[in-house]
Amino acid sequence: MKRRMHALEPGAGRAYPGGMTEPRDVMVCIVGAGPVGGTLACRLAMAGIETAIVDRAPLSPMEHPAFDGRAYAVAAGPRRLLEAAGVWEKLPEPTCPILDIRVTDGRVGRAASPLHLHFAAREVGEAAGPFGWMVEARSLRVALNAHMAALPALQVFAPAEAHVERRADGAAVRVAGGPTIACRLVIAAEGRRSPLRDDAGIPVTRLPYGQTGIVCAVAHEKPHHNVALEHFLPSGPFAQLPMCATSGAPHGSAPHVSAIVWTERDRLARIMLGLDDARFAREIARRLGDHLGAVRPIGRRWSYPLAAMLAHRYIDTRLALVGDAAHGIHPIAGQGLNLGFRDVEVLAGLVIDAVAAGTDPGAPEVLVRYQRQRRPDNLAMLAATDALDRLFSNDSGVVRLARDLGIAAVHRTAPLKRMFMRQAMGA
């Protein structure tokens, strides 16, 4: 039985290469060309697997030629994936290594508790390398777009309207004004509101936090020395993440730059987002402290409602979910995109192995293996970040004392500390 599974926004008048509308055959068709979907497409195409990718948006405007303040923290494991996909070497902007992470607890406008936790990458061993690298969002987008366009085994359709039909023996993706793409597997990488997931009838559990994530970048007077800060406050965590100098920021170059990921209660977040630059900078400084000297915001301000989300299953007939289509977590540990990249690593490996063995990459047994490998890890991370937010996003004196003592205990317990550091690295 045929089922209409997905409809993207119209790409009115879109002409595809050569004006060709004849049917195409590929192994895999990915719906969604964001960081997760785009990296998966590149990884498969680099392995010689015929792949198509479809996105509702035109890709070029997504590159944001001007500095916009958004960045990703890419752990060591996902970096290896980006290297295997051929994307890392094409990043046009330098990446900034995170060599230390300092975890503190406190209140707005007051000094942090002296009981803290400090992770240093060198304590894990020189071979381990940094905890991760800060990558500008626009830099990753430019690299993905350029690489996708250059891969012979990859067909890109964007902007595009498409309808997906899935059967037990295969799937067809009909691109409006373009070809019908026959494939063995469809991958949903469209984000948290995935139409493919919803049309497949896959239930979702959501946990709203009543918090807003504020994302921006700041220039600061003193160097960050590649140290990241996670400062827990009653309204939610406040993170400062080291970035490389930029010449594209408003008002000229900025030699000392950090990304800010600021969790705030919804009502207060709306007030903060409405402040002028001077007052916004003062509020950042009240949470950040004075160790970086004077700060000023650069680039745009971004905000996102925060909620955890988990799909009850990651698979259906000829369908697999990856990234935010399958799961979403609180940004308290900066692991959301890294979890999506780990989905890509596992699913790409299974598809590559199946094709190499001459078997069907969209067969039920392949998809079941993907779900078994990824869902427990993602569920554990969701539970951990949810518990951390609930533990630290309050101002109870008893709870504050208990968590400060816990932070200090981890700092002084070398084996436990190394375990946390290896987890942060994606080891």
- The contacts of residue 186 (CB under 8 Å, 6+ apart) are 5, 28, 29, 30, 31, 164, 166, 171, 173, 196, 318, 319, 320, 362
* Residue written as token pair 């998809």: 367
In a domain, 403, yes or no: no
In a domain, 5, yes or no: no
- Express each pLDDT in 358-401 by its tens digit: 999 999 999 999 999 999 999 998 988 888 777 777 666 655 56
Mean pLDDT throughout 237-257?
81
- Express each pLDDT in 395-426 by its tens digit: 666 555 666 566 655 555 555 445 554 565 55
Looking at the fold, whether 130 and 166 belong to one and the same domain comes out as: no
In a domain, 352, yes or no: yes
Query: Terminus-to-terminus CA distance in the chain, angstroms?
Result: 44
* DSSP annotation string for 343-404: HHHHHHHHHHHHHHTTS-TTSHHHHHHHHHHHHHHHHHHHHHHHHHHHHHSS--HHHHHHHH
Looking at the fold, whether 215 and 281 belong to one and the same domain comes out as: yes
Q: How confident is the model at residue 13 (pLDDT cuts 50, 70, 90)?
A: very low
Domain of residue 321: give its range.
Answer: 17-65+138-205+309-387
> What's the pTM value of the predicted model, to 2 decimals?
0.89
Number of domains in the chain: 2
* Residue written as token pair 């295969």: 170
In a domain, 372, yes or no: yes
Q: Are 335 and 329 in contact (CB under 8 A)?
A: yes
Neighbours of 350 (CB within 10 A): 18
In a domain, 116, yes or no: yes
Looking at the fold, whether 41 and 79 belong to one and the same domain comes out as: no
Please report, for the domain that includes residue 107, its CATH number: 3.30.9.10
Residue 46 confidence (pLDDT):
98
- Express each pLDDT in 133-161 by its tens digit: 999 999 999 999 999 999 999 999 999 98
Looking at the fold, whether 190 and 287 belong to one and the same domain comes out as: no
In a domain, 199, yes or no: yes
Biggest CA-to-CA distance, the chain = 68
Please report, for the domain that includes residue 42, its CATH number: 3.50.50.60
Which segments within 49-169 are labelled E, that is strand? 51-54, 71-75, 96-98, 100-105, 117-120, 132-136, 154-157, 162-167
- Express each pLDDT in 171-210 by its tens digit: 999 998 899 999 999 999 999 999 999 999 999 999 999 9
- The contacts of residue 60 (CB under 8 Å, 6+ apart) are 145
Mean pLDDT value across the chain: 87
Q: How confident is the model at residue 8 (pLDDT cuts 50, 70, 90)?
A: very low
Domain boundary among 247, 279, 308: 308
Percentage of the residues of the chain whose pLDDT score is greater than 90: 67
Strand partners, 316: 319
Q: How far is CA 297 from the centre of its chain?
A: 23
In a domain, 405, yes or no: no
Please, how many CA atoms are within 13 Å of residue 12, restricted to the half-sphere of its CB? 0
pLDDT at 18 over 90: no
- Express each pLDDT in 57-114 by its tens digit: 888 766 666 777 899 999 988 999 999 999 999 999 999 999 999 988 888 988 887 7
Residue 65 confidence (pLDDT):
64
Looking at the fold, whether 212 and 274 belong to one and the same domain comes out as: yes
Strands 185-188 and 319-321, sheet pairing: parallel
Q: How confident is the model at residue 7 (pLDDT cuts 50, 70, 90)?
A: very low
In a domain, 401, yes or no: no
